[in-house]
Amino acid sequence: MDPLLLLAGTTVAVALLFAFTNGFHDASNAIATSVSTRALTPRVAVALAAVCNFVGAWLGTGIAVTITDVVDVAPGAPGIGVVLAGLLGAIGWNLITWWRGLPTSSSHALLGALAGAGVVAGATTHPEMLLEQVLLPLLVSPLLGFVLAYAGMVGVLWLHRRSAPTPVHRRFRLAQTVSAAAMALGHGLQGAQRAMAAVVLVLIALDVQGEGDGVPLWVQGASALAISLGTYAGGWRIVRTLGRRIIDLDPPRGFVAETVAAGLSYVAAFGLSAPISTTQAVSASIAGAGATRRLSAVRWGVVRSLVLAWVLTFPGAALLAVLAWLALRPLL
């Protein structure tokens, strides 16, 4: 077999593995609040999230195009090597943070890893696009999630200020089936496009397609299947962090947090073609909805740990990608 095609095939396989670990790592995004409030059983929640992730992956490709524009890959083995190193760095970071039970951003990890591998390999990067289309949305979305979830929960409390808690909670448990599905669709829409972008970069390096040609259907379908299978495998360590450790959720707060995070995912994808972290969005939304109970009800020590993990994601994934590139370089 042609060594270049073998390298390309390996990189595509690793990209689909990244999509799998993305689903595995981020399964908690859609189901943690619903499971913790007992709106859905874990088995039903995971199955719902897996199906919705698969469907969501077919809703758009604009984010994948944005990611491919951040780094210009060289033709041939050097360009494919940058993509492979970036994927290995992102997967490594995902596994480390999964093991520690920290809900970090797979988008953040992949882009940090691609940037790190690109810089050390001498590839052309576009820092202005990285800042405007990637880093700003990643930074702003958690702040919006906190504020919107806080405001939304205040509105819910006001509307139901004279209602008995038990029937209100019963209705919001039913509503969480819809909000969990919306959150899972948003995650599939956002998450699968990261793997699509990596495969498209490989195709560009092979000169199979040019920049701006979009995402082939087979790439979209393979990424959708990989992320849904990863979601079905589940990430229960992170479910515990999101569902229990930030705050003890009730159904109304779970519904508001899921709805706000899902809305941010759709606006970023359809309106801006920008990758955001569904993990960051839902974590911040949980904290915002929980803060309406009282600020001290939010376990701010856990939130600080999550923020530190988010801050470390970009350089941490970049460092792992640099190490991967140095290991791969003699083979390219």
DSSP string, 120-137: HHT-EE-HHHIIIIIIHH
pTM of the model: 0.87
Report d(CA 225, CA 231) in Å as an integer.
Answer: 10
Residue pLDDT, tens place only, 275-287: 888 878 888 898 8
Highest mean pLDDT among 52-61, 91-100, 208-217: 52-61
323 CB neighbour count, 10 Å cutoff: 17
79-88, 92-101, 219-228, 260-269: which range is least confident on average? 92-101
pLDDT confidence tier of residue 303, bands split at 50, 70 and 90: low
24-28, 131-135, 218-222, 226-230: which range is least confident on average? 24-28
Residue pLDDT, tens place only, 196-230: 999 999 999 998 887 777 899 999 999 999 999 98
78 CB neighbour count, 10 Å cutoff: 16
Of 187, 150, 176, which is closest to residue 63 (Cα–Cα)? 187
Amino acid at site 152: G
CA dihedral 211, 216, 221, 222 (to 10 degrees): -60
- Residue 221 has a pLDDT of 96
pLDDT over 70 percentage in the chain: 88
Q: Which residue has the higher pLDDT, 47 or 88?
A: 88
**Bridge partner residues of 125 (DSSP):** 71
Ordered alpha helix ranges (H), the chain: 3-36, 42-56, 62-68, 77-99, 106-121, 127-129, 136-159, 165-205, 217-233, 236-240, 251-266, 278-291, 300-328
- Residue 296 has a pLDDT of 60
| Angle at CA of residue 262, ends 60 and 255, nearest 5° | 155
Q: Which residue has the higher pLDDT, 34 or 47?
A: 47
Amino acid at site 298: V
- Whole-angstrom CA distances from 233 to 22, 47, 188, 216 are 11, 10, 15, 26
- Residue 276 has a pLDDT of 87
Residues 6+ apart with CB under 8 A from 276: 107, 137, 138, 141, 190, 264, 265, 268
